[in-house]
Amino acid sequence: MTEPIRLCCDCRFYKKSWVEHLIFGSDADDKCFHPVLSGNLVTGKVKGGRCCSFMRMYGGGCSEEGKYWEARK
């Protein structure tokens, strides 16, 4: 049996950009607030988030496998 696809919208670190969604009908600016990807590694504070699409496309982030993905509670 294959593993289900890990979608950003099902991740606990995902935050939808409603402005982008309502004005442009897009999800291009949805953010990932995972501490490893968007946090300050010195202070531990999460600030600003990173675009989900970039974090999934490039190896420095979550990548296609969703290695930092965690299910919502």
Dump pLDDT digits (tens) for 18-62: 988 899 988 888 998 888 877 777 777 777 788 888 888 876 778
What is the C-alpha separation between 18 and 26, in angstroms, rounded?
A: 9
pLDDT in tens, 51-66: 888 888 876 778 888 8
Q: Tell me the pTM.
A: 0.75
- So what's the pLDDT on residue 14? 92
What is the C-alpha separation between 63 and 73, in angstroms, rounded?
A: 22
Is residue 39 a contact partner of residue 21, using CB atoms and an 8 Å limit? Answer: no
Name the token pair of 72. Answer: 């919502």
Q: How far apart are the first and last CA of the chain?
A: 24
How many CA atoms within 13 Å lie on the side-chain side of 33? Answer: 12
